[in-house]
Amino acid sequence: MLEKLKTQFSLDIVSAVGTWAIVAISACYFMLVSPSYGITSFIIVASLHLCFIVLWLCSTGKMTNALTKTSKVMLLSVQYACVLSLFVLVPLNYSAILVTIWCTLLPTVMPLRKAMLTAPLWSSPLWLIYQFHWSEKYAFVSAALFFMFNIFALIMVNTATKERQAKEHANHLNRELLATQKLLSQANKQAERVRIARNIHDLLGHHLTALTINLQVASRITQGEAKEKIETCHGLAKLLLSDVREAVSEIRERSDIELKDALMALCDNLPRLKIQLHFDDNLNINEVNTADTIIKCVQECLTNTMKHSTADELELEINKVEQGIALNISDNGKPINHFDMGNGLRGITERLALIDGHVNFVHDKKGFRISISIPQETL
């Protein structure tokens, strides 16, 4: 529960809300104690402050992953309109702090370079309104200071975003590397077991077969006690040959790839996402290519969920069925208005097509679900 609260209310959001609260409370207090303003003005100012912070929080939450760029721009536009209205209604130029809070969201809808080039446009109303509407003597100086604050905020937010993305990318690569290492380790063990089984079959098996044949021939051309001894040896040789064949078969059967270990490495320590893995212990995979395809598909699903979904929980279920393997991945993300099949999902489809597998994507009120089937022949 504590970890979830930390995720929902990070330090930067708490500090922004705290700053907003000081600005809003002081402005509302000024409206109450000043005889120049009535209750109507107070309600309007309070409503504008509340509308601003609610929309700002909506723009910073995980639900923004499901919004289109147009929707994000509209949210930012309404927030900016609230700030401009407050400039007109409240003669306190430190209300421009709200613009600094607002501009931290600009990198989510435009590149940093564009945001900095347009900064004079969305920073200048502070000077114009307080210079000509409120007749403030040093409005230009205040506007210049807040302009530099806004530039500084943009640079810091962009730097923090790049650092976070680099860290997430590094963690993502590390999980991929661990999963690949485990898969390669399993593949090497499988190859070694198969080599040993083949050598036992080719060398010991062939020699025992020759010995059995020779003993059988010898038993036919001998008489008496010697024949009994040869027949006994023949029986032991046949028994030993049978044991060798069983041992070879057992070694080959135990050459299955342990896919579960690789999947656990891939799903471990994912930021903001809780994974529930259900793996059928009766599932056996001998083909490295099939195991690698499953790993890559799961990896792409996890990446898509973290980048584009509002989900914080994901369930991964792999079962052995009569037709082969059934892989189901589902999350608790909120529904979106329009679903586009991006490069990641197309990549899943293309990978599965190479092993005659099939995939189905479903997005509804319950979240996003991916159903994958892999035929028995490819295991």
- The H or E element spanning position 242 is helix 224-253
Percent of the chain with pLDDT over 90: 26
State mean pLDDT over 363-372. Answer: 81
Residue 83: what pLDDT? Answer: 95
Instruction: Categorize the per-residue pLDDT at 182 as very low, low, confident or very high, splitting at 50, 70 and 90.
Output: confident
- Calculate the average pLDDT of the chain: 81
Most confident of 149-158, 217-226, 302-311, 346-355: 149-158
Over 90: is that where the pLDDT of 345 sits? no
Cα gap 261→182, rounded to integer Å = 7
Residue 150: what pLDDT? Answer: 93
The counts of H helices and E strands in the chain are 13, 5
Most confident of 151-165, 201-215, 230-244: 151-165
By the 8 A CB rule, do 251 and 197 touch? Answer: yes
Residue 73 to residues 32, 53, 60, 69, 100, Cα–Cα distance (Å):
34, 16, 13, 6, 17
Tokens 């990446």 locate to 303
By the 8 A CB rule, do 258 and 185 touch? Answer: no
State mean pLDDT over 182-201. Answer: 69
Residue 307: what pLDDT? Answer: 77
Most confident of 42-51, 228-237, 270-279: 42-51
Over 90: is that where the pLDDT of 177 sits? no
- The H or E element spanning position 358 is strand 358-364
Domain boundaries along the sequence of the chain: 10-137, 194-253, 258-378
- 258-378: CATH homologous superfamily? Histidine kinase-like ATPase, C-terminal domain (3.30.565.10)
Cα gap 162→203, rounded to integer Å = 60
Interval 114-124: pLDDT, tens = 999 999 999 99
Q: Within 10 A of 201 (CB to CB), how many other CB atoms are there?
A: 17
Residue 2: what pLDDT? Answer: 40
Whole-prediction pTM:
0.64
By the 8 A CB rule, do 143 and 129 touch? Answer: no
By the 8 A CB rule, do 172 and 266 touch? Answer: no
Q: Which residues of 356-377 are buried (b: 16+ CB within 10 A; e: fewer)?
A: ebebeeeeeeebbebebbbeee
Residue 107 to residues 61, 97, 99, 207, Cα–Cα distance (Å):
15, 18, 14, 74
Residue 86: what pLDDT? Answer: 94
Cα gap 149→28, rounded to integer Å = 24
Structure tokens that stand for 29 in this block = 């207090």
- The H or E element spanning position 279 is strand 274-279
Interval 15-67: pLDDT, tens = 999 999 999 999 999 988 888 888 898 999 999 999 999 999 988 866 566 67
Residue 24 to residues 86, 101, 149, Cα–Cα distance (Å):
10, 13, 19
Interval 55-112: pLDDT, tens = 999 888 665 666 778 888 999 999 999 999 999 999 999 999 999 999 999 988 899 8
Residue 231 to residues 204, 216, 218, Cα–Cα distance (Å):
21, 7, 9
Instruction: Categorize the per-residue pLDDT at 313 as very low, low, confident or very high, splitting at 50, 70 and 90.
Output: confident
Cα gap 104→155, rounded to integer Å = 9
State mean pLDDT over 218-236. Answer: 75
By the 8 A CB rule, do 329 and 314 touch? Answer: yes
Strand order in the sheet with 324-331: 274-279, 313-321, 324-331, 367-375, 358-364
Task: Provide CB contacts within 8 A for 303, sequence distance 6+.
Answer: 172, 344
Which backbone phi and psi does 105 adopt, to 5 degrees?
Answer: -95, -10
Cα gap 64→70, rounded to integer Å = 11
State mean pLDDT over 159-188. Answer: 75
Question: Bridge-partner residues for 178, per DSSP?
Answer: none
Over 70: is that where the pLDDT of 5 sits? no
Least confident of 8-22, 27-41, 152-166, 182-196: 182-196
